[in-house]
């Protein structure tokens, strides 16, 4: 993973994205939402929760929920090994950890490189997609992580309470 | 200038509120026959300060009311008018109007429906009725500043402005004085121009002080003999959090080094001991920042008692004890409503009318006693009255009417808690004071929500005694760590009645349901299992031979089966909702010594989760 500070941010609509893989697909999320990346640690399971909510961890004193997108999106092989990575996100004034297969890169994309998403054909509901981009023959799926995390599907947020 | 004003506005609101509180307290403790001159001065100073600072912010209604108030107070203070009972009532009314005005200003609403004019007129009427010479020198007396004949009076009003220091401090209000002086630096302001016709030597010094460059900060610095500063609660909480982390880290270190040979690593162990000691002290020190004396809420009760008693035509004396007992700010805030309710209940339902009391051979004047003290790491707040006590018959009758299972030979200790059941009110007449829908059940819910317990005791003809046991702080909880399916959970100690190992003869299965009932000392309690309550993947081990906790929550007693008791421990409560959401059956989380997370069980919710109406057993 390259250091994100290498590229120069400007007022142009160039955005930096963190790319990660889930199964066969490569995804990208806005790097500014990423607080840190860490290995997968033991979690404390939370009762009465769907399977993709792995539980909570102690992140330097904060109780942080960990969700496994691979379980949520029914990807075949869900393993936890030394390569399993947790992306700690800072979205909606919350800290949320997301388990992914691996984190690959930080890339800069300008507005033109991002194509609108197709209507269907992705693991994600297109509602949560910002678009698609091709980088070196690979296709990246740009996810609006904030929207995804606040979706009712993930039940991460108690909408009645907030 | 304007940029700073908003900032000072906040300080003004807080200060004005404090002044109003001290004004009220002084008024209520004032001896009508021989008013303490210090108290009168204190009342005058409070009104005077509010007038000064409200004028500065252009809150004209407030300045207007305080002006008349101050005029009258000054004449009382200087002995020109004798204090009358009706004045206290009007003063209290004025205080309420000021407090309403303050709320309006704070909400940036125009204070349209506040009876400003009415109360000003009543104050003015008092001046005109009692003042011997109000025709002669009205303006001079209005300020007290120009009153050459009474130099003492002039001194005091200056002091209220904070320009001069405690050299002339009054012992009775010395502690408050410290506070005021520093705070007043912000609001130093010459007296209101209206009515100020003749120049006066005293006034001349004030513009000088105000004209100093940066008068807003320097007075605080120079006059800061005050020993307190205002800090936002968030900052303190973040400090407490950090220290919590430190404690956990320290526990981790202790665990990691426990494998080392103490002989070989003597110095490490010494250092760790030192660290242990230091963190403990640091934690205590930091926790104490959030602590407030309970007088914070107790102080409002003289007024509550006075108003309630007046309304009901009863005579009640309030005795406060242990006002200096300190409690967490969060606990204090949540205690105000329940206590108010209990005290009102005591006066409304407990204390009899003077005639009834005399007939019963008691003094005409009833007594409500409120006290607070430490007991075994907890705070106990008690409210007792010498009224007629709870009526066992009425409670039982009401319980039967409500369909609650009771028997006439139940011990008192089981009868009294019935009044905490929802919808339970034995009041013969619903008054606008008590029966307003907030019953004792809400009181108990509020108390348990802050980890407290409420107990009630009563003797007919002698009175009722209510004891509330509270944790010292909301941030830490005494918990029993239990293990279920290899996961640790915390059960708040306050709910646990006992724990025991189930024997076969305890256990009864209920036909037609998978749940069981256990019999403990002739009481049948439903047996709940965390495995099913929390939808754990595994099946619970057989009940016989397992450990159960007998828990009592909101009037329900039930048994909870766990795999193992790990131990008793104080835990730091962390919010789950901060980054996640509410989970049914869980109130929060905590971090254990090894850095792992353990969930704190919501015992109140467990019977509901069990999906069955657990028999009401008080």
Residue A156 in contact with partner chain B when CB distance is under 8 A: yes
- Between B262 and B153, whose confidence is greater? B262
Instruction: Taking residues B465-477, report their average pLDDT.
Output: 80
CATH of the domain at B485: 2.30.30.40
- Between B5 and A43, whose confidence is greater? A43
Structure tokens at B70: 């101050």
Q: Distance from A31 to chain B by nearest Cα, in Å? A: 19
Can you give the length of chain B in residues?
Answer: 618
Same domain, B571 and B450: no
- Interchain proximity B580–A156, CB inside 8 Å: yes
* Residue B372 banded pLDDT, cuts 50, 70, 90: very high
What would the pLDDT profile of B318-334 be if each residue is shown by its tens digit?
999 998 888 888 888 88
Within a domain: residue B107?
Answer: yes
Same domain, B307 and B441: yes
Q: With a CB-CB cutoff of 8 Å, which residues 30-49 of chain A face chain B?
A: 42-49
What would the pLDDT profile of A49-104 be if each residue is shown by its tens digit?
788 888 899 887 788 999 988 888 777 677 888 778 899 999 888 899 999 888 88
- Interchain proximity A47–B536, CB inside 8 Å: yes
The pLDDT value recorded for residue B170 is 41
- With beta carbons less than 8 A apart as the criterion, state whether A69 and A122 touch: no
Same domain, B166 and B260: no
| C-alpha torsion sign, points A104, A107, A113, A117 | positive
Which chain A residues have a beta carbon less than 8 Å from that of B238?
Answer: none
- Could you say which of A46, A65, A161 has the minimum Cβ distance to residue B579? A65
Q: Domain range spanning residue B600? A: 476-609
Single out the residue in B471, B498, B513 at which a domain terminates.
B471
- Interchain proximity A63–B244, CB inside 8 Å: no
Residue B226 to residue B182: CA distance in whole angstroms: 6
Same domain, B216 and B261: no
Instruction: Taking residues B42-61, report their average pLDDT.
Output: 80
Same domain, B416 and B540: no
Q: Distance from A59 to chain B by nearest Cα, in Å? A: 9
Considering chain B, what is the average pLDDT of its residues? 75
Instruction: Taking residues B43-67, report their average pLDDT.
Output: 81
- Interchain proximity B583–A65, CB inside 8 Å: no
What would the pLDDT profile of B399-446 be if each residue is shown by its tens digit?
888 777 777 788 887 788 888 877 666 554 444 444 444 577 788 888
Same domain, B346 and B417: yes
Same domain, B335 and B399: yes
Chains A–B, number of C-beta pairs less than 8 Å apart? 78
Relative to beta strand A85-91, strand A94-100 is: antiparallel
- Interchain proximity B583–A56, CB inside 8 Å: no
- With beta carbons less than 8 A apart as the criterion, state whether A22 and A71 touch: no
Q: Which of A89-98, B9-18, B304-313 has the lowest mean pLDDT?
A: B9-18
Single out the residue in B202, B222, B242 at which a domain terminates.
B222
**Position B381 pLDDT exceeds 70:** yes
Q: Which of B137-141, B409-413, B537-541 has the lowest mean pLDDT?
A: B137-141
Q: Which domains does chain A have, with CATH numbers?
A: 13-154 (2.40.50.180)
- With beta carbons less than 8 A apart as the criterion, state whether A28 and A22 touch: no
Within a domain: residue B359?
Answer: yes
Q: What is the DSSP code string of B2-41?
A: HHHHHHHHHHHHHHHHHHHHHHHHHHHH--SSS--HHHHH
User: Could you tell me what percent of chain B has a pLDDT over 90?
Assistant: 4
| Mutation target among A57, A63, A96, A162 for the B interface, most CBs of B within 10 A | A63
Instruction: Taking residues B531-547, report their average pLDDT.
Output: 76
* Residue B513 banded pLDDT, cuts 50, 70, 90: low
Within a domain: residue B618?
Answer: no
Q: Distance from B602 to chain A by nearest Cα, in Å? A: 12
* Residue A121 banded pLDDT, cuts 50, 70, 90: low
In the three-class reduction of DSSP (H, G, I as helix; E, B as strand; rest coil), residue A113 is classed as: helix
For B592, the closest chain A residue by CA position comes to A58
Q: What is the DSSP code string of B577-611?
A: TTTS---TTEEEEEE-TTS-EEEEE-GGGHHHHTT
Same domain, B208 and B269: no
Which residues are within 8 A (CB) of B607 and not within 5 positions of it... i.e. 6 or more apart?
B526, B528, B553, B554, B556, B558, B614
Relative to beta strand B463-471, strand B378-385 is: antiparallel
Residue A155 in contact with partner chain B when CB distance is under 8 A: yes
The pLDDT value recorded for residue B426 is 52
If one counts the domains in chain B, the total is 4
- Could you say which of B244, B578, B599 has the minimum Cβ distance to residue A44? B599
Q: Distance from B590 to chain A by nearest Cα, in Å? A: 8
**Position B136 pLDDT exceeds 50:** no
CA–CA distances in Å: residue B10 to residues B16, B51, B57, B433:
10, 16, 11, 33
- With beta carbons less than 8 A apart as the criterion, state whether A161 and B581 touch: yes
Single out the residue in B471, B499, B529 at which a domain terminates.
B471
CA–CA distances in Å: residue A55 to residues A23, A130, B581, B596:
22, 28, 12, 11
Within a domain: residue B115?
Answer: yes
**Position B3 pLDDT exceeds 80:** no
- Could you say which of B487, B575, B583 has the minimum Cβ distance to residue A49? B583
- Interchain proximity A47–B591, CB inside 8 Å: no
CATH of the domain at B166: 1.20.120.160
Instruction: Taking residues B542-571, report their average pLDDT.
Output: 82
Within a domain: residue B276?
Answer: yes
Interface of B with A (CB under 8 A): 241-242, 244-245, 248, 487, 530, 533-536, 574-586, 589, 591, 595-599
Q: Distance from A84 to chain B by nearest Cα, in Å? A: 19
Same domain, B399 and B539: no
Within a domain: residue B228?
Answer: no
* Residue A15 banded pLDDT, cuts 50, 70, 90: confident
Q: Which helix (H) or strand (E) holds B303?
A: helix B301-312
The pLDDT value recorded for residue B94 is 86
**Position B152 pLDDT exceeds 60:** no
- Interchain proximity A46–B577, CB inside 8 Å: no
Instruction: Taking residues B555-572, report their average pLDDT.
Output: 83
Residue A2 to residue A4: CA distance in whole angstroms: 6
The pLDDT value recorded for residue B249 is 79
The pLDDT value recorded for residue B227 is 75
| C-alpha torsion sign, points A32, A35, A40, A46 | negative
The pLDDT value recorded for residue B382 is 92
Within a domain: residue B617?
Answer: no
Same domain, B319 and B281: no
Beta bridge partners of B367: B317
- Between B449 and B499, whose confidence is greater? B499
The pLDDT value recorded for residue A8 is 45
Same domain, B76 and B155: yes
Q: Distance from B348 to chain A by nearest Cα, in Å? A: 37
**Position B206 pLDDT exceeds 50:** no
* Residue B214 banded pLDDT, cuts 50, 70, 90: very low
- Interchain proximity A61–B244, CB inside 8 Å: yes
| C-alpha torsion sign, points B133, B137, B139, B141 | negative
**Position B375 pLDDT exceeds 50:** yes
Same domain, B211 and B259: no
**Position A9 pLDDT exceeds 70:** no
- Could you say which of B536, B581, B599 has the minimum Cβ distance to residue A157? B581
- Could you say which of B577, B580, B591 has the minimum Cβ distance to residue A61? B591
Within a domain: residue B615?
Answer: no
């Amino acid at each position: 993973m390259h250091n994100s500070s290498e590229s120069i941010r400007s007022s142009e609509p160039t955005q930096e994205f963190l790319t990660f893989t889930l199964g066969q697909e490569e995804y990208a999320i806005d790097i500014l939402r990423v607080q840190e990346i860490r290995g997968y640690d033991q979690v404390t399971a939370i009762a009465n929760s769907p399977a993709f909510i792995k539980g909570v961890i102690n992140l330097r004193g904060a109780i942080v929920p960990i969700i496994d997108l691979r379980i949520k999106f029914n990807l075949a092989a869900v393993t936890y090994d030394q390569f399993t990575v947790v992306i700690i996100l800072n979205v909606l004034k919350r800290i949320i950890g997301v388990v992914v297969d691996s984190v690959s890169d930080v890339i800069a994309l300008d507005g033109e490189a991002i194509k609108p998403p197709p209507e269907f054909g992705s693991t994600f509901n297109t509602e949560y997609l910002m678009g698609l981009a091709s980088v070196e023959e690979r296709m990246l799926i740009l996810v609006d992580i904030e929207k995804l995390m606040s979706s009712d599907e993930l039940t991460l947020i108690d909408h009645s309470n907030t | 200038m304007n940029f700073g004003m908003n900032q000072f506005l906040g300080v003004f609101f807080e200060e004005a509120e404090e002044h109003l509180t001290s004004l009220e307290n002084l008024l209520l403790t004032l001896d009508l026959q021989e008013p303490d001159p210090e108290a009168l001065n204190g009342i005058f100073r409070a009104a005077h300060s509010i007038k000064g600072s409200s004028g500065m912010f252009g809150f004209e209604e407030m300045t207007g009311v305080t002006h008349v108030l101050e005029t009258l107070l000054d004449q009382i203070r200087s002995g020109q008018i004798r204090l009358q009972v009706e004045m206290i009532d009007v003063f209290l009314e004025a205080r309420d109007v000021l407090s309403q005005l303050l709320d309006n200003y704070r909400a940036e609403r125009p204070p349209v429906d506040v009876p400003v004019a009415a109360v000003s007129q009543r104050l003015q009427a008092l001046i005109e009725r009692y003042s011997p010479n109000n025709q002669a020198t009205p303006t001079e007396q209005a300020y007290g500043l120009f009153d050459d004949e009474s130099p003492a009076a002039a001194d005091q009003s200056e002091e209220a402005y904070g320009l001069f220091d405690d050299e002339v401090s009054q012992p009775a209000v010395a502690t408050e004085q410290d506070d005021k002086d520093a705070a007043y630096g912000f609001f130093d302001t010459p007296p209101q121009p209206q009515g100020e016709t003749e120049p006066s030597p005293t006034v001349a010094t004030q513009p000088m002080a105000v004209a100093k460059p940066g008068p807003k900060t320097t007075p605080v610095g120079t006059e800061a003999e005050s020993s307190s500063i205002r800090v936002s609660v968030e900052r303190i909480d973040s400090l407490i959090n950090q220290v919590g982390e430190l404690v956990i880290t320290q526990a981790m270190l202790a665990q990691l080094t426990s494998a080392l040979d103490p002989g070989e690593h003597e110095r490490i162990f010494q250092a760790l001991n030192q660290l242990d000691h230091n963190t403990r002290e640091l934690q205590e020190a930091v926790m104490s920042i959030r602590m407030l004396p309970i007088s914070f809420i107790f102080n409002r009760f003289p007024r509550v008692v006075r108003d309630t008693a007046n309304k009901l035509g009863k005579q009640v004396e309030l005795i406060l004890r242990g006002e200096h007992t300190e409690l967490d700010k969060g606990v204090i805030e949540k205690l105000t409503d329940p206590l108010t309710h209990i005290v009102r209940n005591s006066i409304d339902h407990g204390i009899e009318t003077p005639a009834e009391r005399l007939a019963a051979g008691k003094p005409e004047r009833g007594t409500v006693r409120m006290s607070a003290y430490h007991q075994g790491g907890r705070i106990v707040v008690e409210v007792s009255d010498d009224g007629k006590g709870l009526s066992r018959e009425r409670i039982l009758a009401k319980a039967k009417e409500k369909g609650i299972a009771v028997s006439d030979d139940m011990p008192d200790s089981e009868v009294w808690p019935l009044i905490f059941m929802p919808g339970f009110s034995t009041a013969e007449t619903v008054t606008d004071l008590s029966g307003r829908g907030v019953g004792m059940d809400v009181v108990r819910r509020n108390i348990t929500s802050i980890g407290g317990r409420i107990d009630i005791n009563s003797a007919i003809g002698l009175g009722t005694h209510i004891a509330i046991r509270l944790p010292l702080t909301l941030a830490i909880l005494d918990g029993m760590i239990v293990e279920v399916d290899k996961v640790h959970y915390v059960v708040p100690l306050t709910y646990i009645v006992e724990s025991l190992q189930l024997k076969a003869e305890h256990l009864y299965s209920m036909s037609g349901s998978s749940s069981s009932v256990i019999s403990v000392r002739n009481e049948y309690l439903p047996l709940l299992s965390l495995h099913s309550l929390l939808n754990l993947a595994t099946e619970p081990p057989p009940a016989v031979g397992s450990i159960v906790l007998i828990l009592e929550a909101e009037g329900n007693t039930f048994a909870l089966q766990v795999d193992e008791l790990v131990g008793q421990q104080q835990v730091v409560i962390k919010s789950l909702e901060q980054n996640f959401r509410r989970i049914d059956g869980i109130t929060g989380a905590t971090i254990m010594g090894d850095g792992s997370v353990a969930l704190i069980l919501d015992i109140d919710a467990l019977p509901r989760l069990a999906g069955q109406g657990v028999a009401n057993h008080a």
